[in-house]
Structure 1
């Protein structure tokens, strides 16, 4: 009897554990988003990708509210799983005048 209860509990809890898998909303494709975020099906996931393609990377999870069909409650439900790494790609640092002068001297 106990084995059945443990198995039943596992079956009931498994979808919740799998539904909110950490995912980077700036790099994931639609099928990954749909499979990782609770309440996000393929249609909403495609809308997220389309918004990202049109407007650039998301700067925060809350910016998802700009996507049609995504509300604050859906974001709150998935907040722990939503990652926004790469929102602002690092720019290459410009070499200083000293470094440029040294490079010019080394070449000449």
Structure 2
């Protein structure tokens, strides 16, 4: 009976040592294997107060001439009531507006 208890105890001890050694031998996964979640940073541009340089830098498809046209339109007609009003600016079409809609604000 004592022999059976010692055998069971010895088996349990060897099994736990074996598991501990196995766990220690498993290498960590390299960082390149880990899934990375990248959060896109979206800069919001208030078209009622952004200067031409900011508009040019932050908006896709808006170069110097279009950026200056946005500022000139705003100076002539007052603040934009909505981002859709950008379609009234010469050179700004639906495609340009849609490319930038998530970046634009009027507040």
Q: State the structure with more CA Rg.
A: 2
Runs of 5+ consecutive residues of structure 1 not aligned to the other structure: 4-16, 86-108
Give the match for residue 11 of structure 1: none
Q: Distance in 2 between matches of 1:78 and 1:67?
A: 15
Aligned positions of 1:39-50 closer than 5 A: 39-50=61-72
Q: TM-score normalised to the size of structure 2?
A: 0.60
Q: Is the contact made by 1:22 and 1:83 (CA closer than 8 Å) also made in structure 2?
A: yes
Give the match for residue 71 of structure 1: 93
Runs of 4+ residues deviating >4 angstroms: none
Equivalent pairs counted in the alignment come to: 69
Give the match for residue 81 of structure 2: 59
Aligned positions of 1:1-108 closer than 5 A: 21-85=43-107
Runs of 5+ consecutive residues of structure 2 not aligned to the other structure: 1-31, 33-39
When the two chains are superposed, the root-mean-square deviation of aligned CA atoms in Å is: 1.6
